Homo-oligomer: A and B are copies of this chain.
C-alpha cells in the first residue's frame, strides 16, 4: 500500500496557490503563459526532479514529470481562469505529484505526472491536451489569439528555452485525473468522493423563430405571430417531452435569448435563442435532438412561423475506462464508505482529449456550494485528503 503524506500534499497545494495569489480569499490569477503560470511550471518541474522524475516541457507548455519505463500518467492542469480558484486543475497536479513521490518511496508502481497547458481556454478549449492528443493541430493552434490579442505562437515561445519534443503517449498505460466537481452534487449529498463514469457530450445549436413584428396595441391576440410566445411554448413542450427520455444527470439550457425588435410596445417578430443539452449517452443526445427539432417544427407550423436551425456544435461523450473506474470505486469504498457515488462529469476536462490515446478515469471531490471559476472556489481539506487516499488505493491495487 502506497503511504501518502497528507501534510506534504496540502503544503504543496498551498505553495502552488501562493504563485499568482489573487489576494482575495484563496483565489489565483494564473492564466496560461502568464508570468505566474510560467513560474508555477518551473516550481512544479523542480518538485518533480526532487522526487526522481524527469521534468520535460513539450513544445506547447505541457509539463511532464516522467518516470522510467511504462508508467501510469496522473495529473491535470496548473493554469487558471482569469479569476480562478486554487483547486481547479492544481488539485489534480499536486495529487499526482504526491502519489508519484509516495509510490517511489514505497516501491510502488511507476507514476508519471502532467500539468497540461491552457486547459482553461485562453486560446482554444483545453488547448494543451487537445494538441497532444491530436484533437487540434499545432499549425491551427499557432493562429489562435487570446482576447488581449496575444498569439498562441508567441506565447508558447516564452518556454522555448526549456521545451523538448512532444512526449510519446505510448509510454503511458493510462491516465487518471483528480479534479474538483465544480458542481453541487457531492456537496449537496454530503458525500466525499465521486467516481466519474462518463464525461458528458454536448450539443449546442442556435434556433431562430420568425413570425410577424406588429403593433402591440392594434394587433389582436388571435392574429399575432409572436416569436416570444413561440419560444415560450417550445420551452414548455420540450421540458414536458424530455421527461421520459432524460436521467437525473441530463441537463439542458436556454441561456441566450435575443428578441427583435425587443421593445415593449411591439409584438416580437423574431426570437433567436441557444439550445444546449448534455448527457453521457450519445443515443440520448440524439433522441433529445430529435425532440428539439420536431417540437420546434411543430410550434413553427402551428403558429405560422419560419424556423431556422444554426449549425450544431457537437462533442461526443467519453466513457471512463471500466478497470480504472473499478480501482477508484474500490478505493472509495475503503476511504469513504457510504459517502461516495458514481457520477457523470458535466464539464469538459483534459481527460476528454487524453481518452483518444489511452484508458482514462477521473475522480471528483466536492466543491463547496458548487462554486468554481471564482475566487470563492473551495473544498474542505479532509475531502481533499480523502481524494488523495482513494488515488493511493487505486494505484496500489492496480500495481
A263–B257 alpha-carbon span in the complex (Å)? 9
Q: Mark A221-241, 1 if CB is under 8 A from B, else 0.
A: 111001011011101100100
Given A265-B276, A268-B255, A248–B228 Cβ distance below 8 Å?
A: no
Q: Give every chain B residue within 8 A of A39 (Cβ-Cβ).
A: none
CB of A347 within 8 Å of the partner chain: yes
Q: Give every chain B residue within 8 A of A183 (Cβ-Cβ).
A: 215, 217-220
CB of A147 within 8 Å of the partner chain: no
A219–B214 alpha-carbon span in the complex (Å)? 38
Neighbour of A251 across the interface among B182, B217, B231, B264, CB < 8 A: B217
CB of A108 within 8 Å of the partner chain: no
CB of A341 within 8 Å of the partner chain: no
In the assembled complex, the CB of A238 is this many whole angstroms from the nearest CB of chain B, namely: 11
CB of A202 within 8 Å of the partner chain: yes
A184–B267 alpha-carbon span in the complex (Å)? 14
Number of A interface residues in the complex (CB < 8 A)? 58
Q: Give every chain B residue within 8 A of A255 (Cβ-Cβ).
A: 216, 228, 259, 262-268
* B216 near A253: Cβ-Cβ < 8 Å: yes
CB of A176 within 8 Å of the partner chain: no
CB of A188 within 8 Å of the partner chain: yes
Neighbour of A220 across the interface among B184, B222, B226, B254, CB < 8 A: B184
CB of A18 within 8 Å of the partner chain: no
In the assembled complex, the CB of A125 is this many whole angstroms from the nearest CB of chain B, namely: 11
Q: Give every chain B residue within 8 A of A221 (Cβ-Cβ).
A: 248, 250-252
Q: Give every chain B residue within 8 A of A253 (Cβ-Cβ).
A: 216, 226, 264-267
* A216 near B259: Cβ-Cβ < 8 Å: no
* B184 near A251: Cβ-Cβ < 8 Å: no
* A346 near B217: Cβ-Cβ < 8 Å: yes
Q: Give every chain B residue within 8 A of A219 (Cβ-Cβ).
A: 183-184, 251, 346, 370
A219–B251 alpha-carbon span in the complex (Å)? 8
* A370 near B218: Cβ-Cβ < 8 Å: yes
* B256 near A257: Cβ-Cβ < 8 Å: no
CB of A54 within 8 Å of the partner chain: no
CB of A14 within 8 Å of the partner chain: no
A217–B248 alpha-carbon span in the complex (Å)? 13
Q: Give every chain B residue within 8 A of A250 (Cβ-Cβ).
A: 221
Q: Give every chain B residue within 8 A of A389 (Cβ-Cβ).
A: none
Q: Mark A270-285, 1 if CB is under 8 A from B, else 0.
A: 0000101010000000
A313 to B, closest residue via Cβ: B264
A261 to B, closest residue via Cβ: B255
CB of A181 within 8 Å of the partner chain: yes
Given A253-B226, A255-B228, A257-B257, A218–B347 Cβ distance below 8 Å?
A: yes
* A278 near B220: Cβ-Cβ < 8 Å: no
CB of A94 within 8 Å of the partner chain: no
Q: Give every chain B residue within 8 A of A345 (Cβ-Cβ).
A: 218
* Known A216-B278, A258-B262; further 7 A-B contacts with Cβ < 8 A: A204-B264, A215-B373, A217-B348, A221-B248, A223-B370, A255-B263, A255-B265
11 A-B pairs with C-beta separation under 8 A? A184-B218, A206-B264, A214-B370, A215-B347, A215-B373, A216-B276, A216-B278, A219-B370, A221-B251, A255-B264, A256-B259
> Which 10 A-B pairs rank lowest in CB-CB distance, beginning with the nearest?
A183-B218, A264-B274, A217-B346, A216-B253, A218-B346, A232-B235, A232-B232, A217-B347, A182-B218, A255-B264
